[in-house]
């Protein structure tokens, strides 16, 4: 064999080896499809897509206490995305909050919840993002922060203090259905990221119902001046069954409860795409959580004059849609009677809807959302307080009255956002 022929043989061998490696790294369609479903469950597209942008290219602005950050490009582009990530690097970023090179991620990424995801599901997610997503070369945007807020090593301390790096383990005392629901709620669904109160250092006060501070898990939080409902409140637990929770996650409405704010996006991008078995399992888990017994007790009686003023405003602005008896119109305008958003302790969402308006979730079954117009420009703080007080204390509702100061504070927060 001459030298020229030898080089050809060697080159052919190297190409064959490389092709063999490429074939070995190729994921099955089944695993990619399963990864796509899990990415829906994790609502990855919501945070990693800018308004009007392409899916997973990043650029969504997230305002944090120390400044603004922008979500990253998680397409398989090898320069600006995650195309060069090994599975171990992908897993470390998603479940541990550490990108290649030891760069710590900000906890706007819900890796404290994703730490619960199993290795099997992580492999499927990796398959999807490497093979089921189109690469896009859009560069990542730097955070809008000034030094020293850009220093990330303190996040290692934050992780050590607040992240419980354990994969979900089924509870042998519970059914397979309950465990599936708990896995989705605590893990990929990262429900606690919004529905659990946060502490001084922006940490979730509990990561599961059975862990440290478990009684605080899913007891409500504030997100972009909306109140992420206390899923364990007596008024919500009393209103919704496990099947109702499943329907709520699929459509955005169940019984007298209609979601608003950021939860409409969660339903649009994520939960409406899950199968009924998973949605019902989540409902079974949520329904099993111990509820609070004091969540609907009104300790302060409303001022009768305020109620009368509120009724006059309701008759003028609200009665056409929500009806004189507050019952609304089925499949169009939500009932205000026994509505958890109206009568649960925290009045934020009732005030927010009247101030700034709202729309229902866009789903396959309801592609055209119903829109509630804003009244903030028409009504004063005292008028909105009177109106909300009337709604919260009429037709059998028995919640606390609302003050003009509460409306003023929320109006200021919304206007400054």
One pLDDT digit (tens) per residue for the chain, 417 residues: 444 444 444 444 444 444 433 334 589 999 999 999 999 999 999 999 999 999 999 999 987 767 788 999 999 999 999 999 999 999 999 999 999 999 999 888 999 999 999 999 999 999 999 999 999 999 999 888 766 667 777 888 988 889 887 899 999 999 999 999 999 999 999 999 999 999 988 899 999 998 889 999 999 999 989 999 999 988 888 889 999 999 999 999 998 889 999 999 999 999 999 999 999 999 999 999 988 654 445 567 889 999 999 999 999 999 999 999 999 998 788 899 988 889 888 899 999 999 999 999 999 888 888 899 999 999 999 999 999 999 999 999 989 999 999 999 999 999 987
C-alpha closest to that of 324 among 390, 252, 254, 258: 390
Residues found in the chain: 417
Any bridge partners for residue 329, and if so which? 333
Burial 131-143 (b: 16+ CB within 10 A, else e): bbbebbebeebeb
Q: What is the DSSP letter of 68?
A: E
Tokens for 120?
A: 């099997």
| Euclidean distance between CA atoms 327 and 343, whole angstroms | 14
- Report pTM: 0.88
SS3 at position 69 = strand
SS3 at position 333 = strand
Strands (E), 19-168: 61-64, 67-70, 98-99, 103-104
| Euclidean distance between CA atoms 175 and 109, whole angstroms | 30
C-alpha closest to that of 123 among 21, 18, 17, 30: 30
C-alpha closest to that of 177 among 279, 252, 273, 289: 279
Tokens for 139?
A: 């560069």
Angle at 276 (CA atoms; ends 32, 362), nearest 5 degrees: 85
């Amino acid at each position: 064999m001459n030298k020229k022929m030898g080089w050809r043989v060697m080159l052919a061998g190297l190409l064959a080896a490389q092709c063999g490696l490429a074939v070995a790294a190729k994921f099955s369609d089944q695993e990619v499809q399963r990864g796509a479903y899990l990415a829906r469950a994790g609502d990855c597209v919501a945070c990693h897509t800018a308004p009007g942008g392409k899916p997973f290219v990043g650029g969504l602005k997230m305002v944090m206490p120390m400044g603004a950050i922008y979500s990253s490009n998680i397409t398989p582009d090898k320069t600006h995305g995650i195309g060069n990530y090994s599975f171990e690097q992908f897993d470390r970023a998603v479940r541990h909050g550490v990108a290649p090179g030891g760069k710590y991620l900000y906890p706007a990424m819900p890796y404290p919840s994703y730490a619960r995801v199993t290795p099997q599901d992580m492999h499927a997610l990796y398959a999807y993002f490497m093979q089921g997503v189109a690469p896009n070369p859009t560069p990542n945007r730097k955070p809008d922060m000034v030094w020293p807020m850009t220093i990330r090593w303190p996040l290692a301390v934050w992780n050590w203090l607040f992240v419980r790096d354990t994969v979900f383990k089924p509870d042998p005392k519970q059914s397979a259905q309950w465990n599936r629901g708990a896995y989705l709620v605590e893990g990929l669904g990262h429900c606690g990221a919004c529905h659990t109160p946060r502490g001084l250092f922006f940490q979730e006060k509990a990561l599961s119902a059975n862990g440290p501070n478990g009684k605080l898990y899913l007891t409500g939080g504030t997100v972009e001046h909306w109140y992420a409902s206390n899923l364990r409140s007596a008024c919500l637990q009393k209103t919704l069954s496990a099947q109702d929770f499943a329907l709520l996650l699929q459509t955005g409405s169940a019984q007298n409860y209609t979601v608003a704010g950021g939860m409409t996006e969660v339903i649009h991008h994520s939960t409406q795409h899950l199968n009924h078995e998973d949605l019902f399992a989540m409902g079974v888990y949520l329904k099993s959580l111990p509820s609070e017994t004091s969540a609907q007790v009104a300790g302060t009686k409303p001022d009768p004059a305020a109620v009368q003023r509120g009724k006059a405003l309701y008759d003028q602005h609200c009665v056409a849609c929500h009806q004189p008896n507050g019952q609304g119109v089925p499949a169009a305008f939500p009932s205000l009677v026994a509505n958890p958003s109206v009568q649960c302790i925290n009045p934020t969402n009732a005030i927010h809807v009247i101030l700034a308006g709202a729309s229902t979730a866009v789903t396959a079954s309801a592609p055209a959302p119903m829109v509630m117009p804003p009244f903030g420009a028409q009504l004063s703080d005292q008028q909105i307080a009177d109106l909300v007080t009337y709604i919260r204390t009429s037709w059998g509702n028995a919640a606390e009255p609302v003050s003009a100061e509460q409306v003023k504070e929320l109006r200021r927060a919304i206007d400054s956002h």
